[in-house]
Structure 1
Amino acid sequence: MDAQDIAKLCEALSLKDREGPVMTLREGLRDDGERRLTMRLAGRIKSNRLVNMEAFINLIPKIWRLKYGVDIEVIDGNTFSFTFKDAADHYRVLQGGPLSFDKALLVLEEPTGRGEVRDIMFNRVAFWVQIHNVPLLCMTSEIDRFLRSMIGDVKEVDDNGNGDCVGKYIRVRVVVNVDLPLRRILRVDVLGDGNESSMLLRY
């Protein structure tokens, strides 16, 4: 067999043949990877221009005031990976309010499955929202859940633990799609009599 025949055989090989068989990750390695994944967040700054990465990496840990720190890695452009050293720090950052950097929103997501950042949409953010001008009939946590479902995914309601919402407004925490315009008003026919109540939203 001459060099020309060997070259033809190599061309006939598929890319999969050249790269070898699929290997399965050992269970112990997978468990360790899953454990580490629970300490990670992926984040993207929603801006059309590239942010100052060095300033971002130096400033964010100071803003978060972490007890044990975080390792920040640039994934691509304005996309970052955050690896926390403490579960309480990770939880506190995830539960904290939306953060902006250089006048742009920072969207944080928990990686799942394989943890492939390219599959994350970075369009869901949890906001505390005040619902104003709420009729007294609607000042219960159950009706509040209905109102919140009109804004986004229900997370939490500030009802003093007793199921009733008291005060001038209902305060709720919802996850909204930030790629869409934020809703500013809820229009509800409370009594089903055709009369509309307009409730104002403040994020």
Structure 2
Amino acid sequence: MEFILKEKFLTKRALNIDVVAKTFKPNWRNKNGFKVKKECDHVVLFTFDDRNEMEKIIATEPWSFDKHLKVLQNYDKEKDLANMKFNRATFWVQVHDIPIRFRTQKVAKEICGAIRAVNEAPTDAEVEGDGFIRV
């Protein structure tokens, strides 16, 4: 079974698909590798044979290439590629100056909820920083 990420590179520069593949291979460190196919202008399909490896990449957004954001989505072959929109990206936000007793996911979600939806972080240990919480 194949699992596909459709990614749009938000840059005006021409994409070299070989450079794209060489850049993300060491960054993603997935065991089974991936296939890369240029679909259209600045849109690339990454195909994986392991769903967990693909989901790990999605969970560690945002990703960039050549200092430009790339927006990614799960792709189902039943969908029309032309109708897919790339209008959302996930970002980590640091919330500073919170008293220690309030540095919890619950409080951070309430603060950041005004921005947009807040994704669940894996563990509290991974979101705590030096005087801030990461959401």
TM tier, shorter chain? 0.7 to 0.9
Q: Give, in angstroms, the shift of residue 68 of structure 1.
A: 0.3
2:34 paired with 1:70: yes
Q: Deviations over 1:20-72 (max 9, x none)?
A: xxxxxxxxxxxxxxx64xx1110011012222222113332232111001111
| Letter of the structure 2 residue corresponding to residue 168 of structure 1 | G
1:42 corresponds to:
6
Residues 118 and 158 of structure 1: is their aligned pair in 2 closer, same or farther, counting only changes over 3 Å? same
Q: Distance in 2 between matches of 1:65 and 1:166?
A: 25
Match in the other structure for 2:82 = 118
Aligned ranges for residues 45-60 of structure 1 at < 5 Å? Answer: 45-60=9-24
Structure 1 contact 41–81 (Cα < 8 Å) conserved: yes
Larger Rg: 1
Q: Please provide the CA RMSD for this pair.
A: 2.7
| Contact residue 37 and residue 46 of structure 2 kept, 8 A | yes
Give the match's secondary structure for 1:63.
helix
- Looking at structure 1, the residues matched to 53 and 122 of structure 2 have their Cα atoms a distance apart, in angstroms, of 23
- Counterpart position of 2:134: 171
Q: Structure 2: state its 5+ residue gaps.
A: none
Task: Identify the residue that residue 90 of structure 1 maps to in structure 2.
Answer: 54
Q: 1:123 corresponds to which letter in structure 2?
A: N
CA distance in 2, matches of 1:88, 1:158: 15
2:21 partner SS: helix
TM-score by length of 1: 0.56
Q: Distance in 1 between matches of 2:31 and 2:121?
A: 28
Shift of 1:103: 1.6
Does the 8 A contact of 1:108 with 1:125 survive in 2? yes
Query: Which residue does the alignment assign to 2:43?
Result: 79
Deviation at 1:160, TM superposition (A): 2.9
Unaligned runs of 5+ in 1: 1-34, 173-203
1:147 matched residue in structure 2: 111
Alpha-carbon distance in structure 2 between the residues aligned to 1:157 and 1:85: 25
Question: What secondary structure sits across from 2:112 in the alignment?
Answer: helix
Identity of aligned residues (%): 26
Normalising by the residue count of structure 2, what TM-score does the alignment of the two structures yield?
A: 0.80
The structural deviation recorded for 1:151 is 2.1
Contact in 1 for aligned 2:17/2:36 (Cα 8 Å)? no
In structure 2, do the counterparts of structure 1 residues 137 and 102 end up closer, same or farther at CA, with 3 Å as the change threshold? same
Deviations 1:146-184 (A, max 9, x none): 2121222110247638xxx89622211xxxxxxxxxxxx
Amino acid at match of 1:115: K
Q: CA deviation at 1:139?
A: 3.9
Residue correspondences, number: 133
